Amino acid sequence: MIIVDSDVWFAKFPLEEDNSQYISRPVIILNSDRLEVLVIKVTKTAPRTNDKYDIPIIYWQYDNLRFKSTARVAKAILLSSSQLEFKIGSLHPSDFANIEEAFIQFISENG
């Protein structure tokens, strides 16, 4: 399995209310190595006005997503590469740049 930064995959993502339970959902690969993958949660919910780290995915159809989607940058987590199920597509370079910029800002502000 080849995992590339800016890819969009379906992954077994832990539920916030019980991280021993998983749901299959789209994620954006932000950074990967052989064992762990830093991913950003993707949701079809519109960006929340009270969270500046909810980034709309403008080219969602280019990315092979089925719905208008939002990258929840504040919900970035490390997953085992074994939790990745299948590749959906790759982010448009503009979307990836927006998400990457928001992630760098999030890290600098939240450590």
Asked whether the predicted pLDDT for residue 1 surpasses 80, the reply is no
Structure confidence at residue 33 as a pLDDT band (50, 70, 90): confident
Asked whether the predicted pLDDT for residue 111 surpasses 80, the reply is no
pLDDT one-digit tens code per residue, 62-99: 999 999 999 999 999 999 999 999 999 999 999 999 99
Which pLDDT does position 2 carry in this prediction? 83
Helix, strand, coil % over all residues of the chain, rounded to 5: 20, 45, 35
| Rounded Cα gap, residues 46 and 17, in angstroms | 21
Asked whether the predicted pLDDT for residue 32 surpasses 90, the reply is no
DSSP one-letter code for 16 = S
What class is the 7-110 domain?
Answer: mainly beta
| Rounded Cα gap, residues 62 and 20, in angstroms | 33
| Rounded Cα gap, residues 108 and 97, in angstroms | 17
Entry pTM: 0.92
| Rounded Cα gap, residues 1 and 22, in angstroms | 21
Give SS3 for 3. Answer: coil
Q: How many CA atoms lie within 13 A of 50 on its CB side?
A: 0
| Rounded Cα gap, residues 100 and 107, in angstroms | 11
Which pLDDT does position 22 carry in this prediction? 94
Which pLDDT does position 89 carry in this prediction? 95
Q: For all residues of the chain together, what is the average pLDDT?
A: 94
Domain definitions of the chain by residue range: 7-110
Asked whether the predicted pLDDT for residue 35 surpasses 90, the reply is no
